[in-house]
C-alpha cells in the first residue's frame, strides 16, 4: 500500500486501505459490475491483515460502493436497482407512494462556468459546463424542476439529443456513457419562491412557495461531478431524509 499518499499518523490503518481501494476504483482498475480480487490477495497487496482489509471493504459495502454476493465475491456496485435509485431520489407522495419520475428535458446549453460553479465543482478558471433543466412528473403531477450543471471535461460528448433520448436514470446514464459513478451526495434544503420560468414549467402561480434542494454529487475520493438545484411543489409531495 502506498502509505506516502494515504497513511496519516494517528488514523486507523483500515482508513488508508479504504482510500487506496477508492483510488483503484477512480483509476478504473475495477469497473462497475466487476469483481474485485479476493480479500487474501488484496491484503497481501496492501501489506495488511485480512481483518484490516475486511474492515475497509465493509465500509465501502455500507456506502454502496461495493456489494457482496454470497458465494461469488465482492463486486463494484452498479446504479440500476430500485434501492440505488431511491437512495438519491427522495421525493414521494404524501401517502407514502414512491414512483419513478417521467422526465422531460426543457433546456440545454454549454457555457463558461461562473466563479461560484468553478469553486463548487473544483474546475479551472476557463472551464466550461453543460447546464440543463428537467421537468419531473410523478403520477401525472408536475412536481419538480431540476437545474443541473456538469463539467464539460467529464462529459465532453454530452448532447441535447443523447440526454433527451436516454432510456435510464440520469446517474445510470452518467455511469454507462461517461464512466462517472455517483456514489454520494450532499444536500441543503431551503424554501424559495417560483420565478417566472419555474412557475410556467410547473404550472403554478409566480412566487408560489417551493422547496429548493441544493445538491452536490460526488464520485470516488469526494470529487464533485454535478451541481443540482431542485425546485419542488410540495402541495402533494414531500422530501424524505436519508435514514
Same domain, 130 and 197: yes
Closest CA to 239 of 212, 208, 201, 209: 212
Domain containing 155 — which CATH number? 3.40.1410.10
Beta-carbon contacts of residue 159 (< 8 Å; ≥ 6 apart): none
User: Which CATH number belongs to the domain containing residue 13 in this structure?
Assistant: 1.10.10.10
Write out the residue range of the structural domain in which residue 200 sits: 82-239
Residue 91 burial class via C-beta count within 10 angstroms: exposed 0-12, middle 13-18, buried 19 and up: buried
Residue 62 and residue 98 in one domain:
no
State the Cα–Cα distance between residues 3 and 168, nearest whole angstrom.
39
Residues 100 and 55 in one domain: no
Of the residues 61, 76, 91, which one is the last residue of a structural domain?
76
**Statement to judge: residues 173 and 205 lie in one domain:** yes
SS3 letters for 123-192? CCCCCEEEEEEEEEEECCEEEEEEEEEEECCCCCCCCHHHHHCCCCCHHHHHHHHHCCCCCEEEEEEEEE
Provide the number of structural domains found in the chain: 2
Q: What is the pLDDT of residue 80?
A: 61
pLDDT for 159? 97
The fraction of the chain above a pLDDT of 90, given in percent, is 62
Q: What local confidence, expressed as pLDDT, does residue 3 receive?
A: 42
Among 76, 102, 131, where does a domain finish?
76
The answer on 218 and 114 residing in a single domain is yes
pLDDT digits (tens, 9 = 90+) for 52-86: 999 999 988 887 788 888 888 998 887 665 556 67
Same domain, 129 and 204: yes
Query: What is each CA distance from 57 to 17, 27, 39, 128, 206, in whole angstroms?
Result: 9, 17, 9, 36, 49
Determine the pLDDT at residue 26. Answer: 77
Closest-CA residue to 72 (of 28, 112, 35): 35
The ranges of the chain with pLDDT < 50 are: 1-4
Could you tell me the CA-to-CA distances from 187 to 69, 183, 212 in Å, in that order? 31, 14, 10
Residues 200 and 97 in one domain: yes
92 and 184 share one domain: yes
Residues 139 and 201 in one domain: yes
Shared domain for 53 and 94, answered yes or no, is: no
Pick the last residue of a domain from 24, 44, 76: 76
Amino acid at each position: 500500500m502506498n502509505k506516502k499518499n494515504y497513511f496519516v499518523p494517528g488514523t486507523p490503518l483500515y482508513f488508508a486501505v479504504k482510500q487506496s481501494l477508492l483510488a483503484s476504483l477512480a483509476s478504473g482498475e475495477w469497473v462497475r459490475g466487476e469483481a474485485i480480487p479476493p480479500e487474501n490477495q488484496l491484503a497481501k497487496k496492501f501489506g495488511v491483515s485480512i481483518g484490516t482489509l475486511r474492515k475497509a471493504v465493509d465500509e465501502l459495502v455500507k456506502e454502496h460502493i461495493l456489494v457482496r454476493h454470497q458465494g461469488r465475491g465482492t463486486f463494484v456496485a452498479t446504479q440500476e436497482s430500485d434501492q440505488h435509485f431511491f437512495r438519491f431520489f427522495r421525493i414521494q407522495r404524501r401517502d407514502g407512494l414512491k414512483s419513478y419520475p417521467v422526465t422531460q428535458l426543457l433546456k440545454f446549453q454549454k457555457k463558461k462556468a461562473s466563479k461560484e460553479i468553478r469553486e463548487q465543482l473544483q474546475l479551472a478558471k476557463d472551464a466550461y459546463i453543460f447546464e440543463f433543466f428537467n421537468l419531473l412528473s410523478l403520477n401525472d403531477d408536475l412536481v419538480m424542476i431540476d437545474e443541473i450543471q456538469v463539467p464539460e471535461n467529464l462529459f465532453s460528448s454530452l448532447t441535447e439529443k443523447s440526454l433527451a433520448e436516454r432510456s435510464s436514470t440520469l446517474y445510470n446514464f452518467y455511469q454507462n456513457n461517461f464512466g462517472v459513478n455517483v456514489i454520494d451526495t450532499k444536500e441543503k434544503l431551503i424554501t424559495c419562491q417560483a420565478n417566472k420560468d419555474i412557475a410556467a414549467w410547473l404550472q403554478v402561480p409566480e412566487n408560489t412557495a417551493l422547496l429548493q434542494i441544493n445538491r452536490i454529487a460526488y464520485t470516488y475520493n469526494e470529487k464533485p461531478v454535478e451541481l443540482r438545484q431542485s425546485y419542488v411543489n410540495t402541495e402533494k409531495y414531500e422530501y424524505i431524509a436519508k435514514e
